[in-house]
Structure 1
């Protein structure tokens, strides 16, 4: 089962009394793709939607209004459930009940009473919303059928502190939210508190994995850095040996050079602890810089001699 369907399951359970059912059906109807004076079509692949719609229509319109219900196979296990209303008197009844003008649909807050705004937003989500699996991506969107409805919805979400972007996609005005905290706020407001907790847990697990990866990458980088430095230092010392100049090194440089040849895998700090008079990492690094300068000078002499 998808995360988006989990959200629908949870918010459907929160649509309990008639005021919330009235507001939820308003959201579904107002934001459905097809709403004209001749036809209203509500469609979804969600089984929750298929179960909820008859309940909402019965609660609001009793037996006065009965949509035509059809199920169309989409391939595999998926199917599209469609609730269609074509009877002019039934469409007129819906428009009268919710004060909807098909040619200019807009949110009328007067339809929402007794703190049912959250149920209305849940209905909008049922009608045109979806949310990505947060394991893959943080993304919630509403595919609204008009610019006016998109603007109204953006203002509504803004009233609860949620902001998002807008794009035009296939003649639909898409309002999308990518900020995980704003998605959490939206899910919680619609009544999907458990799904919000799941999203937060996923964020925590992702953060822990990312931190572990950063530590591992940092460790690997440090190891590579130590190995690379040790190889350069060893090459310099071997060149000095080849040139027969080891005895010309000062006692502290010679001791360090011999330790490096004997312990190519050790870090600067570890080498410093093995010296007869232990010194810190920066002191060891400073001595290796002197050794590198001597080796470079010997290389330069060799080139000029040739």
Structure 2
């Protein structure tokens, strides 16, 4: 089951009193596929949404509707609920719908019903991506004015929603986990909100662990390359002028490095007969590197 279906399932279970049924059905009707005085058609790929539409229609209008199924070429089953004639006319009278345009009538929805109305809108035309993949919630609205009104309504609850025309549909979309969390909570899907938050926490921890691992790997690689360069310098000095020509301090560091490629500078400093700091060890290796460079340049070596 998809995350969108999880949201629909939770919404459907929360529509459980007269006012909520009336408001939810209003959202489903206003944003359904077809809405005229002669014919109303609610369509959804979700069987549970279609069943709720029929249930709400029966509760509000005392009229029974049936669900018909149509399988698309891609194998997806589309559920349709149709209301014709007197049933459609009853809807227009009950919700004071206009013939020329679909508009949200704020007077029909009490303040405490805005959330469940928006839940009905989601059931009619909404979808939300799996948070494991990306944070994206959208409503495919049937008309431009409805899209603008919905974006304004979401803005009133502090959610930034944008609109775009995609393949002839007016899309209201929301990006960002926090905005989607607020929207899901607003429409009554609080458990799905918690699931999204848990997913975000897991992703953040995983990404942080990956960054740390990558950083550690890069640091290890850097240390190994530095150690190999130091050993290369030490072997060159030993092969040409001999380590015995070095000062006691440089010779001790050189021998420790040659025998311990995996030792850090700090560990080398702590192992010396007279322990020194990491920066002190690094300074001695710079002296060895300078001697090696002089040998490569044919200028001899100063082993002090």
Name the TM-score, length of structure 2 as normaliser: 0.93
For structure 2, which runs of at least 5 residues remain unmatched after alignment? Answer: none
Alignment of 1:1-306 (within 5 A): 1-63=1-63, 66-67=64-65, 69-74=67-72, 78-87=76-85, 89-113=86-110, 115-301=112-298
Shift of 1:241: 1.4
- Once the two structures are superposed, residues 49-102 of structure 1 have per-residue CA deviations (whole angstroms, 9 ceiling, x without a partner) of 122111110111113xx4453111247874211012332x43332222212224
Kept in 2, the 8 Å contact 1:27–1:124? The answer is yes
Shift of 1:253: 1.2
The size of the alignment, in residue pairs, is 300
Query: Take 1:40 and 1:147, find their aligned partners in 2: how far apart are those partners?
Result: 19
For structure 1, which runs of at least 5 residues remain unmatched after alignment? Answer: none
Query: Take 2:299 and 2:163, find their aligned partners in 1: how far apart are those partners?
Result: 69
Kept in 1, the 8 Å contact 2:19–2:113? The answer is yes
Using the TM superposition, name which of 191-200 and 38-47 deviates more: 38-47
Query: Take 2:227 and 2:163, find their aligned partners in 1: how far apart are those partners?
Result: 55
Query: Take 1:271 and 1:172, find their aligned partners in 2: how far apart are those partners?
Result: 68
Shift of 1:179: 1.1
- Once the two structures are superposed, residues 267-296 of structure 1 have per-residue CA deviations (whole angstroms, 9 ceiling, x without a partner) of 111111111111121111111111111111
Query: Take 2:108 and 2:135, find their aligned partners in 1: how far apart are those partners?
Result: 32
CA RMSD, 1 decimal = 1.9
Query: Take 1:276 and 1:81, find their aligned partners in 2: how far apart are those partners?
Result: 82
Q: Secondary structure at the match of 1:116?
A: helix
- Once the two structures are superposed, residues 197-256 of structure 1 have per-residue CA deviations (whole angstroms, 9 ceiling, x without a partner) of 111111121122112212211221111111111011111111111221433322211111
Query: Take 1:293 and 1:41, find their aligned partners in 2: how far apart are those partners?
Result: 84
Query: Take 2:117 and 2:138, find their aligned partners in 1: how far apart are those partners?
Result: 16
144 and 119 in structure 1: CA distance in 2 versus 1, 3 angstrom threshold: same
Kept in 2, the 8 Å contact 1:19–1:114? The answer is no
Shift of 1:183: 0.8
Query: Take 2:252 and 2:137, find their aligned partners in 1: how far apart are those partners?
Result: 65
Kept in 2, the 8 Å contact 1:33–1:145? The answer is yes
Query: Take 1:146 and 1:268, find their aligned partners in 2: how far apart are those partners?
Result: 69
Q: Secondary structure at the match of 2:297?
A: helix
Query: Take 2:62 and 2:35, find their aligned partners in 1: how far apart are those partners?
Result: 21
Query: Take 1:31 and 1:76, find their aligned partners in 2: how far apart are those partners?
Result: 24
